[in-house]
Amino acid sequence: MESILEYRFYLALIVMSIFVAYSQVLMKKISISLDLSNIKSIFRSMIGLITNLPFLLVVSLILTSSVMYLYALKGLDLSIAYSMTALNYVFVVLFSSVFLKENITFYNLIGTLCIFMGILIINF
């Protein structure tokens, strides 16, 4: 029964990684629309972010993912939980291809496979 309950902590880590990766995609999209050419425009952009709905979604996703990570830490060893955060890289490669139309290179595939295999070796 205990191992079944443990899966909810792993599920929290997977969802956390999805939230973090998607927040990175949103940050990339937001960064494209910002004028960061000088101090004045940076300040204006910072003020504008307060009312920017995608940015508020990013903040919400990051806060939610932090709470999910804390939840996972309650039930898993830190060495296990932290290694699972490497899934962030896997999801970023996937999401940047899907949502930003970035190319997945051969090296992206090899690196992602290595990360995934490392997670499996450490955790199982």
* pTM, rounded to two decimals: 0.88
Cite the DSSP H helix spans in 34-105: 39-49, 53-75, 78-84, 87-100
A 10 A CB-CB count for 86 gives 15
pLDDT in the model for residue 44: 80
Tell me the domain boundaries of the chain: 2-123
Q: Note down pLDDT in tens along the chain; length 124 residues.
A: 457 778 999 999 999 999 999 999 999 999 888 877 777 787 888 888 888 899 999 999 999 999 999 999 999 999 999 999 999 999 999 999 999 999 999 999 999 999 999 999 988 7
User: Would you say 116 and 90 are in contact if contact means Cβ atoms under 8 Å apart?
Assistant: yes
